[in-house]
Amino acid sequence: MADRVGFKPQAMDVAEVLKYLDDLVFHQTGKHLDSLQRAILKGVLTGQKYADIAKEYKCTRGHAKDEAYALWQMLSEVLGEDLNKSNFRASVERLGLDNSQYQIIGNSLVGGNINLCRNPSQVNEKSEAENFESIVSETATPVSKERNIETARKIAKIETIPRLVKIGLTAKQIAQALDLPLEDVQQARR
C-alpha cells in the first residue's frame, strides 16, 4: 500500500471526504452512508483491497464487494459520473472533494463545507449546504427538485466567485472553472 508510486494518503483528509460524501448522499437520497459504505470508501481512499476492508469490517470479501458495487452505482448517480474502485480516488481529487487548498470545484459542487479561501472565517455565515436545503425543501415534486438542485448548484457556484477572485483568478478563468457564463461571473464580481 505505502510503496505505491505517488500514493500519499496523508495528502487527503479522508474524514472530510467521508463527511462531504455523506452529506451529499443524504441531500440526494435522504439516507446517510452506513458503516460498511464508509469503511469501503475509507479503505479505497487509503489503498486497501476489498479483502482487507472485509476483514476489518468482519464480513466476507464477497459481501464487501457486493456492497461496494451498490455504493459505486449510488455515488455515480449522485456525482453525475461513472465511479468505481479504480477511479474513485482520482475522481475525488479532481472534483476537489479532498478539500485541498485552492481546489476549484467543477460541475459536481452541490454544497458542503469545502473552503476555497485560506481563512475559513471568510466564508459566508449561511453555508452552501444550508442554501441547498432551503431550496430543495421548497417543494416535494421530483421535477421541481431537479430544477431546485440545478438552482442550488448555480447559487453555490455564484457564492464561490468572490473567494476565487481573492486568490487571483480572472473572470474568464472563474467562468471556465465553474462552467458559468462569463456575464454571470462579471455580474457577481460587482
pLDDT digits (tens, 9 = 90+) for 62-74: 999 999 999 999 9
**What integer is the mean pLDDT of 129-142?**
51
pTM, whole model, 2 decimals? 0.49
The H or E element containing residue 16 is: helix 14-29
* Nearest Cα residue to 30 out of 126, 125, 140: 140
- Residues 21-43: tens digit of each pLDDT: 888 888 888 899 999 999 999 99
- What is residue 51's predicted lDDT score, i.e. its pLDDT? 94
Percent over 90 (pLDDT), the chain: 22
Helical H segments across 82-141, by residue range:
85-95, 128-136
- Residue with the bigger pLDDT between 88 and 11: it is 88
Burial 19-37 (b: 16+ CB within 10 A, else e): bbbbbbbebbeeeebeebb
- Residue with the bigger pLDDT between 144 and 5: it is 144
Q: Residue 116: pLDDT above 60? A: no
- What is residue 59's predicted lDDT score, i.e. its pLDDT? 92
Q: Residue 186: pLDDT above 70? A: yes
- What is residue 185's predicted lDDT score, i.e. its pLDDT? 86
Question: At 65, is the secondary structure helix, strand, or coil?
Answer: helix
Q: Would you report the helix, strand and coil content of the chain in percent, each value rounded to 5?
A: 65, 0, 35
Burial class (CB in 10 A: 0-12, 13-18, 19+), 117: middle
Look over the chain and give the mean of its residue pLDDT values, rounded to a whole number: 73
